[in-house]
């Protein structure tokens, strides 16, 4: 059987070279329609959603022997993610086979297609995963160095542990929201620059963080670490992440235990989960790690991914979004296998649906910095926009859009986008 990622694959559903969802991608999501409000699993293909529950009902998956008949007729992807790589691969191969231009099996069955193939614009996309736990890493050396220089000086930019382990903190899963849900400017304690006492106020230094995240498929038992060589077997797929930040609240609270209210008020993710197999052709070398990590963090092969990223900002007085930065997932110092292995090395049990985010993804040039904090260097160098406005940090009604894609030969494997708008604080 032809590989599901082969660049010459074509579907009977036409896609343009700029589409994020060609047949080489096949990301999973959860959707519903006005005519059928029951949430179910769909796959994005071009400008359409393929309803997997309909295909099951018409016997298109009978040769796979799915572990449960209602696997794709569920509110979340968790049950499917928990089945493991064998089922994922079989399902993906079957979907790819059905969508190929030279296969009449589904192509010529107009009765099934009329129910199973729906325009994306006609469906409501829902949160794809029931997220049990959320961990946010700090895996970009450029980002960690930039922040360290700002607050501690060049000599102490990186903390002593940073080059030895993937630093992270446990975030708040309940406030992870889907793209399109707006975020209110949060309240909290702030220490004004000219004061020795904090005040209670709405954040004045709102920021985005350009990130990506991956979802856990099969988990591990409590007390049984995941060996780094098997880490990828536990990773189902990836999404775009905007981890909103209130920098002034964060600055006052983060010592000695780390982020809390400055981060927990909202994290946005994109609706389509791109499976790791779709990203396989885009694996590449990551940064050189010096000194060598401890043995449990050493892995053979290339485990960075060449995923191009960009952030656009549009204020309420701007006619169109303006790109304020670009970056690439390959710049991350610590890769996904190292992140997962370190997370479980103490015996922590990850569960299906857990979200592990990368931390801000910054690159070597200023235009590759993944946050307003870095792009404006703590507000000292504002971003200027074509309409004459400028920004030190995010203002109310600013809409932030993050996009990401892998560039193939005349096709893209994309993540779509994650969008969010900053709303004024709730009245106190």
Residue 2, pLDDT above cutoff 90:
no
Residues catalogued as catalytic: 143
Q: What is the mean pLDDT of residues 385-407?
A: 98
Query: The domain at 134-423 falls in which architecture?
Result: Alpha-Beta Complex (3.90)
Q: What is the mean pLDDT of residues 206-228?
A: 98
What is the model's pLDDT at position 65? 85
Partnered with residue 326 across adjacent β-strands are 310
Taking only the tens place, the pLDDT of each residue in 8-43 is: 999 999 999 999 999 999 999 999 999 999 999 999
Domain residue spans of the chain: 28-126, 134-423
Q: Say whether 134-423 and 28-126 share the same fold.
A: no
What is the model's pLDDT at position 383? 98
Query: How much is the mean pLDDT over the chain?
Result: 97
Global model pTM greater than 0.95: yes
Superfamily covering domain 28-126: Fumarylacetoacetase, N-terminal domain (2.30.30.230)
Residue 1, pLDDT above cutoff 70:
no
Dihedrals φ, ψ of 192, to 5°?
Answer: -60, 150
Question: CB neighbours (10 Å) of residue 49?
Answer: 26
Rounded to the nearest angstrom, the gap between the alpha carbon of residue 298 and the centroid of all alpha carbons in its chain is 24
- Beta carbons within 8 Å of 99's beta carbon, 6+ residues apart: 11, 12, 13, 23, 26, 45, 50, 106
Residue 321, pLDDT above cutoff 80:
yes
3-state secondary structure of 54: helix
Dihedrals φ, ψ of 343, to 5°?
Answer: -60, -35
């Amino acid at each position: 059987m032809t590989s599901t990622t082969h660049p010459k694959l074509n579907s009977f559903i036409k896609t343009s070279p700029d589409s994020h969802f060609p047949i080489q991608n096949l990301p999973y999501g959860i959707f519903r329609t006005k005519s059928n409000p029951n949430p179910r699993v769909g796959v994005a293909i071009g400008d359409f959603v393929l309803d997997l529950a309909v295909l099951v009902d018409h016997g298109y998956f009978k040769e796979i022997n799915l572990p449960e008949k209602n696997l794709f007729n569920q509110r979340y992807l968790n049950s499917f993610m928990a089945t493991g790589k064998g089922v994922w691969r079989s399902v993906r191969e079957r979907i790819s086979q059905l969508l190929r231009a030279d296969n009449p099996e589904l192509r010529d069955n107009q009765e099934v297609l009329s129910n199973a193939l729906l325009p994306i614009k006609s469906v409501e996309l829902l949160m794809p995963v029931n997220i049990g736990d959320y961990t946010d890493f700090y895996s970009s050396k450029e980002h960690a160095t930039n922040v360290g220089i700002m607050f501690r000086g060049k000599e102490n930019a990186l903390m002593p542990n940073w080059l030895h382990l993937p630093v992270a903190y446990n975030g708040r899963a309940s406030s992870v929201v889907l793209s399109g849900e707006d975020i209110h400017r949060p309240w909290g304690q702030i220490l004004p620059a000219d004061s020795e006492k904090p005040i209670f106020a709405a954040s004045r230094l709102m920021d985005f963080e350009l990130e990506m995240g991956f979802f856990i498929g099969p988990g591990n038992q409590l007390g049984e670490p995941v060996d780094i060589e098997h880490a990828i077997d536990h990773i189902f797929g990836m999404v775009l992440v905007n981890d909103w930040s209130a920098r002034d609240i964060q600055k006052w609270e983060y010592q000695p235990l780390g982020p809390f209210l400055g981060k927990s008020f909202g994290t946005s993710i994109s609706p389509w989960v791109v499976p790791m197999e779709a990203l396989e052709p885009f694996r590449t070398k990551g940064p050189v790690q010096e000194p060598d990590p401890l043995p449990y963090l050493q892995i053979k092969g290339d485990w960075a991914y060449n995923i191009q990223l960009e952030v656009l900002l549009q204020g309420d007085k701007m006619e169109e979004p303006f790109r304020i930065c670009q970056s690439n997932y390959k710049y991350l110092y610590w890769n996904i296998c190292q992140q997962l292995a370190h997370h479980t090395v103490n015996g922590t049990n990850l569960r299906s649906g857990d979200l592990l985010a990368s931390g801000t993804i910054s690159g070597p040039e200023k235009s590759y910095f993944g946050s307003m904090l870095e792009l404006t260097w703590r507000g000292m160098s504002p971003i200027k926009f074509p309409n004459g406005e400028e920004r030190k940090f995010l203002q109310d009604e600013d809409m932030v859009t993050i996009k990401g894609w892998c560039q193939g030969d005349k096709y893209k494997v994309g993540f779509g986008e994650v969008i969010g708008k900053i709303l004024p604080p709730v009245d106190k």
